[in-house]
Amino acid sequence: MVRQQTSAFSLCLLIALLVPGDANAQHYYPAQYGPRESAPLVATYSQQPTTPVVASQTAAPCGACSNAGSVANSNPFTAYQSSCCNATCSPDYGYGFGPTQCCQPMPRDSWYASAAGLYMDRSKSRRVWTTYENNNNANQLMNTHDADTDWEAGADLRLGRSFACNRWALELGYWSVNNFEATSSQTHANGVSSPLQFNDLEFAIGDPVANYFDNAAEHRLSRSNELHNVELNIIEGQLPSGGCGPWSHRMLFGVRYFKFDEDLTFSTLDLGGTWGGNGGLDQVALSDSVKNDLVGVQLGCLFERQVGCRTRFFVTPKFGVYNNRVEHRFDLRRGDGTAAMPTAFSGVSGSYPVESRTDVVSFLSEANIGLQYQASARWTLFGGYRVVVLTNVGLADNQIPQFIVDIPEIADIDTDGSLVLQGAFFGATRQF
């Protein structure tokens, strides 16, 4: 038993170390062991009685462990709360509840579901300058960071089922955040121009693309992000312990799908024109779209500390390796739908849109830190901080070359980007 726990703890510690330093906090929602389903006793795994066991009337204080083999001390949380072990368990709950009722239940398989609200933000990617004052290159006016997304709300839903006398649970989880969206625009009395090079591009002979972006009336940036997370995990139950410490740790492993899409558009309006006017002939848009679809496996650990009869502190690091299918689409069109093309003298072959895809190995780390409060026998409240770190992903800003006519460079997807998502969550779990 000691050797198994030491090995499990070592693996948990390794997973925690794999989480990047800036990922300093998922709460996982381990509802299968609330008051209704607390840690099972050693003797009950094979016997599986149907009546609850009443905790010992003489529980040793935490640290003494003089009767470590007794019912009261077979669970470190019960032993830790030694003042709570002098009551008869409620037949309805299979577990006494309240400041003087901390009895031990028998193992019982059950369903549980949780719902939580999210409020998250994303990190910035590479900065690309798009706009400066016409004829004054030193006065740079706008870059892609100006279209920086703000915090957005989302939801986290989970459904689980414990089995094998609560030694394991299978949990399906889904969470997402509303689309991150942002816009920015820039004008100047002297007009605006772009440091990006649109040379050797035209919509038709005698209609250069550069004329639309240089000495323009207005430049605009818009950004939109979409993300979804689906995972299926097997979670280890709380194994009995011979010690009296309030800490516990459990392993989890599973499969995960993570989707992150980003669209970035840089638009320009010709002098004297209006947005949407003249059949779109006065405006041009450079659109840059990247899709990341990650599929892989993950390992994790649930560290928990009992800080009261109803309250637990938790830290949950997870680490996974994924195949990331990256798809990129880069387009340059006038407002009437006409696509730009390299000039005959550019020496560049190809046309817009430029579409490409590749597969790379990506890594995703996630961690949560927070508190869990047992509000009643079947309801648990929880809240805390979450951070998700992705590496080797495609980001829209990273795909924009200095020379827009460089179609081969555009087709070669840049996948060395990193993304950090972080924010708060708060919700509740219900057992059935």
Task: Write the pLDDT tens digit of every residue in 27-79.
Answer: 333 333 443 333 333 333 333 333 444 433 333 333 333 333 333 333 434 43
* Domain final position from 63, 86, 107: 107
pLDDT tens digits for range 228-272: 999 999 999 754 443 456 888 899 999 999 999 999 999 999 999
Residue the block writes with tokens 């006409």: 338
Whether 304 and 396 map to the same domain: the answer is: yes
Q: How confident is residue 313, by pLDDT bands cut at 50, 70 and 90?
A: very high
Nearest Cα neighbor of 404 from 266, 213, 201, 193 is: 201
CA dist., res. 175 & res. 47, Å (int): 39
Residue the block writes with tokens 């848009």: 285
CA dist., res. 69 & res. 51, Å (int): 20
Q: What is the CA radius of gyration of the chain?
A: 29
pLDDT tens digits for range 176-201: 999 999 999 999 999 999 999 999 99
Whether 187 and 313 map to the same domain: the answer is: yes
* Domain final position from 77, 107, 137: 107
Whether 270 and 136 map to the same domain: the answer is: yes
Strand partners, 403: 197
* Domain final position from 85, 107, 129: 107
Q: 322, 258 in Cβ contact below 8 A?
A: yes
Whether 71 and 149 map to the same domain: the answer is: no
Whether 325 and 218 map to the same domain: the answer is: yes
The three-state secondary structure class of 221 is strand
Whether 395 and 303 map to the same domain: the answer is: yes
Q: Give Cα separations from 66 to 43, 93, 107, 289 (angstroms).
A: 19, 29, 25, 65
Question: Which pLDDT score is estimated for 71?
Answer: 38
Spatial strand order of the sheet with 136-143 comes to 136-143, 129-133, 192-193
Whether 91 and 235 map to the same domain: the answer is: no
Whether 98 and 112 map to the same domain: the answer is: no
pLDDT tens digits for range 258-270: 999 999 999 999 9
CA dist., res. 152 & res. 416, Å (int): 25
Whether 82 and 174 map to the same domain: the answer is: no
Q: How confident is residue 102, by pLDDT bands cut at 50, 70 and 90?
A: very low
Q: 317, 302 in Cβ contact below 8 A?
A: no
Domain that holds residue 75: 38-107
Whether 19 and 54 map to the same domain: the answer is: no
Strand partners, 428: 115, 381
Whether 161 and 292 map to the same domain: the answer is: yes
Within 8 A by CB and 6+ apart from 13, the residues are none
User: Which long-range contacts does 336-342 make (Cβ < 8 Å, 24+ apart)?
Assistant: 336/279, 336/280, 336/281, 337/280, 338/203, 338/204, 339/203, 340/201, 340/202, 340/203, 340/209, 340/284, 341/201, 341/202, 341/203, 342/200, 342/201, 342/405, 342/407
Encoded tokens for 225: 């992000």
Domains: count for the chain: 2
Mean pLDDT value of segment 297-303: 96
Whether 305 and 374 map to the same domain: the answer is: yes
pLDDT tens digits for range 137-155: 999 999 999 999 999 999 9
Question: Which pLDDT score is estimated for 73?
Answer: 38
Question: Which pLDDT score is estimated for 165?
Answer: 81
